[in-house]
Amino acid sequence: MVYLPGQAPPRHAVVLVNPGARRGGDAIDGLLAKFRAAGIAVRESELGSPEEIERHIREGGGETDCAPDGAPDGAPDCAIVCGGDGSLCLAAPGLLATGVTLGILPMGTANDLARTLGIPDDLEAAADIIIAGRQRRIDLGTVNGTPFFNVASIGLSVELARELSGELKRRWGRVGYALAALRALLRAERFSALVTEGEETLRTRTMQVAVGNGRFYGGGTVVAEDATIDDGHLDLYSLEIRNVLQLALMLRSFRSGAHGAWSEVKTLRGTEFEIRTRHPRPVNADGELIAETPAVFKVHPGAVTVYAPPPAEAPSIRP
């Protein structure tokens, strides 16, 4: 876990708001006032495409923003993302291109990156972490050049992403994940994949292949027992079960990250994987369908700087 010297709160931040985020929309004005009271100039913009987000980060806000009195011109030194993991995934290219520090106000359903970093769900407390200015450098994953923070996967999770509509998340929250997972399981089928890592090749008949950069995904599932988001490598598993009833027996292991102990789960660790399938298959990264096979997964160590609490102050990890 790498913390940076000479840390300080941001002076000028663009606040990127997902208007469809399930929670916290009514709290935005109060949070903006909190930042301003702490001496941070803020400009608010809505999340858009990755290209629009990068422009907002470079320029310090959108064309219709109302800047506070005395706000500095030009690029901010921080981008605060108000949303969930999908919103953070959209912002990742802009963060990578500009190098500004990331602040997180977790307003999504699962908030797995916040969970990994020990950022609490309470928005006031999350804002205090940004104001405190403690920075941490974390890894970023890419699949076919598109960045992701948590996990990118092929198979079962793609069906889950298709089932988990915005309306389902807004109405049911984490219960929506369970409903969508049940529907996805009923449609799940095995497929063949060829996984290459250096000189090692894995041929698998699987329900899912997942490649993790972070620790948590899917609302608190653990990609590997000892995975962290600053360890400089990716963790891969292939779920070689024959039917979904087997998965029900393994759920507790997936929640703790101990699933690699099952003979039906094959695991690999590396810095780059290539996955090929007989026919192109979509890749789900942090809840968004962003690529398809053949797919190359890479880790970029220390690529993003984020405001996060030190270990002694981080709240207990939520199961």
DSSP states of 297-317: EEEEEEEEEEE---TTTSPPP
User: pTM for the full model?
Assistant: 0.85
As to burial, measured by CB atoms within 10 angstroms (0-12 exposed, 13-18 middle, 19+ buried), residue 70 is: exposed
Task: Give CA–CA dist 261/265, Å, rounded.
Answer: 7
Task: Give CA–CA dist 114/120, Å, rounded.
Answer: 7
Summarize the confidence of residues 247-252 as an average pLDDT.
70
How many CB atoms are closer than 10 A to CB 293?
Answer: 22
The DSSP symbol for 122 reads: -
pLDDT at 176: 55
What are the tens digits of pLDDT across the range 270-306?
Answer: 999 999 999 999 999 998 889 999 999 999 999 999 9
**Structure tokens given for 104:** 């997180």
**CATH number for region 146-302:** 2.60.200.40
pLDDT at 69: 46
Summarize the confidence of residues 182-206 as an average pLDDT.
85
Listed in order, the ranges of the chain carrying CATH 2.60.200.40 are 146-302
Whether 78 contacts 103, CB under 8 Å: yes
pLDDT at 110: 85
- Residue 292: strand, helix, or coil: strand
Distances (CA, A) of 261 to 143, 231, 238, 247, 252: 27, 21, 12, 14, 12
**Structure tokens given for 84:** 């969930």
Percentage of the chain lying above the pLDDT 90 cut: 59
Listed in order, the ranges of the chain carrying CATH 3.40.50.10330 are 2-139
pLDDT at 66: 43
pLDDT at 318 over 50: no
Give the fold, CATH level 3, of 2-139.
Rossmann fold (3.40.50)
Task: Give CA–CA dist 120/33, Å, rounded.
Answer: 20
Better-scored residue on pLDDT, 244 or 17: 17
Quick one: how many helices (H) and strands (E) in the chain?
9, 19
**Structure tokens given for 262:** 């099952």
Whether 173 contacts 256, CB under 8 Å: no
